[in-house]
């Protein structure tokens, strides 16, 4: 796993492109030495799996570029921990699996609503899964029988019955002009 840490100036826009998959745009304000150490973009993973991106930031700004997905998450009860968002292609076998994820962003949770953007490399059908990592352990914690222990949400807000939704229930279309997605967290 390779890690790349960068010190950020007072305010800087970062664009991280992933080979034919997705990128992240963000404005990062610097605020003190500890915060500067936490800033940066980390690319990690086995070369045989899909790439991902992580960012330790307060919020992700939208710049209005091509293929931009503007995401709003409602229902955050606490401004603690991290929000994690995973982007998936229209692939039933990879949906909600680490190997199917094409991009990931992490940032500080802000109640009662958080907004951020991701950008895809090309228009098409995509799905997003988010969770509020309240204890900031970078893991989606589960209870007995695999039930979620942390608030989560999926694009299109599908009805969750006795198992995870299908990718078809979560898909939305991204055009060159982008897409707007609103996700309600479930507890």
87-104, pLDDT tens digit by residue?
A: 999 999 999 999 999 999
Q: Which tens digit of pLDDT belongs to each residue from 57-85?
A: 345 668 888 999 999 999 999 999 999 99
Beta strands in 18-79 (DSSP E): 22-29, 41-44, 52-55, 68-74
pLDDT over 90 at 182, yes or no:
yes
Highest mean pLDDT among 14-23, 34-43, 53-62: 53-62
* Residues sharing a CB contact under 8 Å with residue 7, sequence separation 6 or more, in sequence order: 36, 39, 40
pLDDT over 60 at 53, yes or no:
no
30: how many CB neighbours lie within 10 A of its CB?
Answer: 14
pLDDT of residue 15: 33
Strand 11-17 to 101-108 pairing: unpaired
Predicted TM-score (pTM) of this structure: 0.68
Could you tell me which residues are beta bridge partners of residue 84? 106, 131
Domain ranges of the chain: 11-184
pLDDT of residue 162: 84
For 22-44, what is the mean pLDDT?
32
Better-scored residue on pLDDT, 154 or 160: 154
CB contact at 8 A, 52 and 38: no
Highest mean pLDDT among 12-21, 45-54, 130-139: 130-139
Q: Give the number of residues written for the chain.
A: 187
pLDDT of residue 13: 33
């Amino acid at each position: 796993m390779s890690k790349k840490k960068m010190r950020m100036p007072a305010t800087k826009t970062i664009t991280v492109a992933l080979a034919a998959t997705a990128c992240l745009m963000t404005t990062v304000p610097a605020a003190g030495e500890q915060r500067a150490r936490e800033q940066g973009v980390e690319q990690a993973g086995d070369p045989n799996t899909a790439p991902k991106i992580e960012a330790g930031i307060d919020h992700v700004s939208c710049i209005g570029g091509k293929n931009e997905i503007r995401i709003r998450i409602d229902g955050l009860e606490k401004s603690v921990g991290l929000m994690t968002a995973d982007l998936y292609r229209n692939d039933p076998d990879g949906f909600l699996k680490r190997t199917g994820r094409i991009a990931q962003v992490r940032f500080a949770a802000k109640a009662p609503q958080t907004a951020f953007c991701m950008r895809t490399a090309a228009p098409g059908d995509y799905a997003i899964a988010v969770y509020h990592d309240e204890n900031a352990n970078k893991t989606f914690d589960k209870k007995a029988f695999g039930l979620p222990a942390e608030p989560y949400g999926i694009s299109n807000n599908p009805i969750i019955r006795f198992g995870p939704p299908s990718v078809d229930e979560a898909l939305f279309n991204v055009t060159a002009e982008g897409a707007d997605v609103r996700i309600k967290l479930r507890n």
